[in-house]
Structure 1
Amino acid sequence: MNRRVMPSVLLILASFYGVMSLVTFCLYGIDKSAAKCNKWRVRESTLHLMSLLGGWPGAILGQKVFRHKTKKRFFRSMFWLTLILNFVLFYGMYSLIFRTI
């Protein structure tokens, strides 16, 4: 593996996860605020999709900070499933990228 390429790929992946986490965290905050005011809500499927696409660290933080979506058992089960699927997808992409470089 080219040692110059590896830090670049890792930086891109870390940046992607950081941005997705920030967006997901904000969505949890927006949804919690909307729930309190009885306004338009963020779909649960959107929150799960964002977690699946790398925003799961922001989702965990959003659940803790905003105390949001912590009591809904089905939501939490689906969240952990998206986290596991994200790890599987990440590992697949990681091995594909680093085997071809």
Structure 2
Amino acid sequence: MRLVIGIWFIIINLIGYFVMSEDKRKARRRQERTPERTLFLLALIGGALGVLIAMYRWRHKTKYLSFVVGIPVLLFINAVLYVYFLR
């Protein structure tokens, strides 16, 4: 079980980082964007760390209070759930 959760943690956070980074690239090129709902969903299902790192690495969505507050809250919830399931 720990191995599965560990692999999930790595994969979902890499996906979260990639999707957030790609959304920033699309924003610069004025292309079709990733819906904010999708970014929050990725954070909710365990990828909050990846989304948060990309958010500040690329300075993307940092002016939106929903992201500045919401993603860290989801990261906290993710951490609590990961600890619960890994003990």
Distance 1:26 1:92 in 2: 24
TM-score by length of 2: 0.83
- Deviation of 1:29 after TM superposition, in Å, equals 1.0
SS of match in other structure, 1:77: helix
- Report the number of matched residues: 87
Question: Which protein has the larger Cα radius of gyration, Structure 1 or Structure 2?
Answer: 1
Which of these residues, 8, 29, 34, is aligned with residue 16 of structure 1?
8
Give the superposed CA RMSD.
Answer: 2.1
Unaligned runs of 5+ in 1: 1-8
Larger deviation: 15-24 or 60-69?
Answer: 60-69
What residue number does 1:94 align with? 85
- Deviation of 1:74 after TM superposition, in Å, equals 2.2
Asked if 1:74 is matched to 2:80, the reply is no
Q: Percent identity?
A: 28
Distance 1:92 1:21 in 2: 16
Distance 1:12 1:38 in 2: 38
Unaligned runs of 5+ in 2: none
- Deviation of 1:70 after TM superposition, in Å, equals 1.3
